[in-house]
Amino acid sequence: MPRNILLLQENAAKATITQELLAKPSDGPFAVEWIRSCAAALDRLNDHTKDDIAAVVIDLLLPQGQELETFEQILQASPHIPILVLSNPEQEQVAKQAVQRGAQDYILENRLDSYSLSKALHNMLERAVNAEALFIEKERAQVTLNSIGDAVISTDVAGKVTYLNQVAEAMAGWRSAEALGRAFGEVFRIIDSANPERTVNPMGAAMQQNKTVGLGGSCILIRRDGSESAIEDSAAPIHDRRGHVTGAVMVFHDVTKMREMSQRMSYLAHHDYLTDLPNRLLLDDRLAQAMAAARRQQQQLAVLFVDVDRFKHINDSLGHAIGDELLLSIAGRLVASVRGSDTVSRQGGDEFVILLSTIAHAEDAALSANKILTALGMPHHVKEHDLQITVSMGIGIYPDDGTDAETLVKNADIAMLNAKDNGRNNYQFFKSDMNEHALERQSLESGLRHALERREFVLHYQPKMDLETEAITGAEALIRWRQPARGIVLPEQFIPIAEQCGYIVPIGRWVLREACRQIQDWLDADLAPMPVAINVSAVELRSKDFVRGVRAILQETGLDGRYLEFELTETALMQDPKSTIAVLQALKDMGVRITLDDFGTGYSSLSYLKRFPIDALKIDKSFVHGLCTNADDANIVSAVINMGKSFRLKVIAEGVETREQFLALQAQHCGEGQGHYFQRPMASKEFAKLLGSDLSATVVA
């Protein structure tokens, strides 16, 4: 403890006595610096070295009326240095006033001795040290409370605000000075966002329960200006030394940003980045909820599985940016086609799943499906393109087609695949036997993957006949799959799958190469040379390098292109007429002939017959089938024959099964025919035998 004492005493004799008294104490002398005048004392106290002075002792025996003034001046010069006043008994009143104004204590001269003086100084100095320590402690707490990022507020036991730190001031919008003494709920309005009617008072709860209480995860602080912020944390009771609750303190922080971020993250996890539609995850959720509701109310609901037809083609030919725009357009129309309470979700790629949450009958789902077919059928304006698309849809109904989300969606998917097989641009309700169909399809698909390398394909040949002379004019090569487990699988069963999986391109190449090789063999064996037709699917025709592949195979096998014919359907030609014309022209330049297959089932438009370089029309077997029994079919057959004549195209009737059909076609001067009535498709060896025995076979000109 520093013991330097500044003594202000005018009377030198008295000062000597005081100094003597201060030199005596049993625990050691005080160091005394005696100053005689008030002015000198002030000088000393205004000096920067005054910090070594532990206390001031002032003798108030000063000219009447000046005592307190002098005291005030000294006090102001050193407010932190404790002051002891010496006074004579007559002036005790003045001494008391000095104490009221800030002096620590006074001693009357008649009681002045070494003991009382040193004791008074001792107490004074000790108090000063304690006060200093307390000040530092308080200061440290203050700085700490203001520098933590959290808001701190405390109340007394009556719930009146006793303290707020700066963060709390900023968060609540109240200055400390205004808030102190007000009811907690007035300064800090906290509500539960889950139940906004309810205000929350964590301070009251902490005091009442006499324990720390956490704020619920959904607390919102309403600021003075009415704005809101999400807050989180806890309130705790404050106790006095005897353990009684004297108030409470709450520490909390603004979690608005954090809550927003977690909400955003959960949104992203549940929505598709491109279309912003709910994704599979959210759909599953909604589906589970809708199913539970439907179960309670004994109602039905429907799931529509929507897949865009030939989307890959658009993506590949126009680029992903256009593909994405198209998906956005599709998403928009889907949403516009259903009710607000329904859910349109994107499963990824070009697949969308729609939940129709309440339907009275299954037919309601069909109505929605029709609406969607119409809405999506309108051209989509994307950049400078007008894109025309179709979709295939499958419908699953709860509870008939599945009682859990996964099964219901899977069955709708299966029904969608069925719609694809059904010529696309339509919808199908799920039927239980589709499941078997789907399994079958899956097994075919996996088998197809290895069929080429395992040499499981063969070509059969079906002769085409001149209806006038009944001589063989050529053949159609028809693919067969000799599947080890199943035996012969017919193309209708696997070609559509091969088309969808992209296997058709390598398979088609194999067909072309095998046919070319076979024809060349027959030519080398001096069998009557005649053209063989092979079937080319739309996917092949559109595939890159198609023309180059044909040219390469002709070169490789050494076959002259005029022995080759391609059968193409109308739909294949119409998908992209401009580039198709170029492809056909390139084929024609190699000497290859083009036949329009299944004629009559598609557009049958005269205008494109003129635009495409076609050599022959093949009347679809369905018309030939009804030729003698159905007037419509007979009319179509006549029309096609006449159309062919006027365009100078060869006309071939396929699927001729009876003598009547043959005679009817002959009577109308249809050029050629093909069908079971003449010959079934046969292995190459048999066909060669047939050729060898058929002396009337016409020779290619």
Nearest approach in angstroms of CB 679 to ligand C2E is 8
Footprint on residues 517-536 left by ligand C2E (CB under 6 A)? 534-536
474 binds ligand C2E (CB under 6 A): no
Nearest approach in angstroms of CB 506 to Ca ion is 20
Nearest approach in angstroms of CB 274 to Ca ion is 40
Q: Which stretch binds ligand C2E (CB under 6 A): 88-96, 148-156, 437-445, 653-661?
A: 653-661
Cα separation, 628 vs 662, whole angstroms: 10
Q: Which stretch binds ligand C2E (CB under 6 A): 6-14, 172-180, 397-405, 651-659?
A: 651-659
**Which residue number, 82 or 675, has a Cβ lying nearer to Ca ion?**
675
472 binds ligand C2E (CB under 6 A): no
Among residues 95, 128, 478, 665, which is the contact residue for ligand C2E, using CB under 6 A?
Answer: 478
**Which residue number, 326 or 479, has a Cβ lying nearer to ligand C2E?**
479
Residue 110 is which amino acid? N
Contact residues for Ca ion, defined by CB under 5 A: 535, 567, 597-598
684 binds ligand C2E (CB under 6 A): no
479 binds ligand C2E (CB under 6 A): yes
Cα separation, 376 vs 392, whole angstroms: 11
Partner interacting with residue 307 (select from Ca ion, ligand C2E, none; CB below 5-8 Å by kind):
none
Q: How does DSSP assign 683-699, residue by residue?
A: -HHHHHHHHHH-TTPPP
The angle subtended at Cα 528 by Cα 525 and Cα 532, nearest 5°, is 95
Kindly give, in sequence order, each residue whose CB lies less than 8 Å from that of residue 156, ignoring residues fewer than 6 positions away: 162, 246, 247
Convert 343-380 to b/e letters by CB count within 10 Å (16 or more is b): bbbbbeebbbbbbbbbbeeeebbbebbeebbebbeeeb
492 binds ligand C2E (CB under 6 A): yes
**Which residue number, 220 or 550, has a Cβ lying nearer to Ca ion?**
550
Residue 699 is which amino acid? V
* 565 neighbors 532 (Cβ within 8 angstroms): yes
Residue 68 is which amino acid? L
Footprint on residues 557-586 left by ligand C2E (CB under 6 A)? 567
Partner interacting with residue 479 (select from ligand C2E, Ca ion, none; CB below 5-8 Å by kind):
ligand C2E
**Which residue number, 307 or 598, has a Cβ lying nearer to Ca ion?**
598
495 binds ligand C2E (CB under 6 A): yes
655 binds ligand C2E (CB under 6 A): yes
**Which residue number, 347 or 462, has a Cβ lying nearer to ligand C2E?**
462
* 675 neighbors 652 (Cβ within 8 angstroms): no
The pair of structure tokens assigned to 577 is 């007429």
491 binds ligand C2E (CB under 6 A): yes
673 binds ligand C2E (CB under 6 A): no
Helix (H) or strand (E) holding 652: strand 650-654
Among residues 675, 684, 687, 691, which is the contact residue for ligand C2E, using CB under 6 A?
Answer: 675
Partner interacting with residue 490 (select from Ca ion, ligand C2E, none; CB below 5-8 Å by kind):
ligand C2E
In this structure, which long-range contacts are made by residues 549-555, counting pairs with CB atoms below 8 Å and at least 24 apart in sequence? 549/509, 549/512, 550/512, 550/587, 550/590, 550/592, 551/590, 553/509, 553/512, 553/513, 553/516, 554/516, 554/590
Partner interacting with residue 676 (select from ligand C2E, Ca ion, none; CB below 5-8 Å by kind):
ligand C2E
Nearest approach in angstroms of CB 456 to Ca ion is 21
Nearest approach in angstroms of CB 439 to ligand C2E is 22
User: How many CB atoms lie under 10 A from the CB of residue 188?
Assistant: 30
| Residue reference for tokens 């002075």 | 53
Partner interacting with residue 492 (select from ligand C2E, Ca ion, none; CB below 5-8 Å by kind):
ligand C2E
The pair of structure tokens assigned to 659 is 């003598």
28: left (phi over 0), alpha (psi -120 to 50) or beta: left
**Which residue number, 304 or 507, has a Cβ lying nearer to ligand C2E?**
507
Kindly give, in sequence order, each residue whose CB lies less than 8 Å from that of residue 617, ignoring residues fewer than 6 positions away: 595, 596, 599, 640, 643, 644, 649, 650, 651, 652
Cα separation, 368 vs 341, whole angstroms: 14
Which residue ranges make up the site for ligand C2E (CB under 6 A)?
462, 478-479, 490-492, 495, 508, 511, 534-537, 567, 597-598, 621, 654-657, 675-676, 681
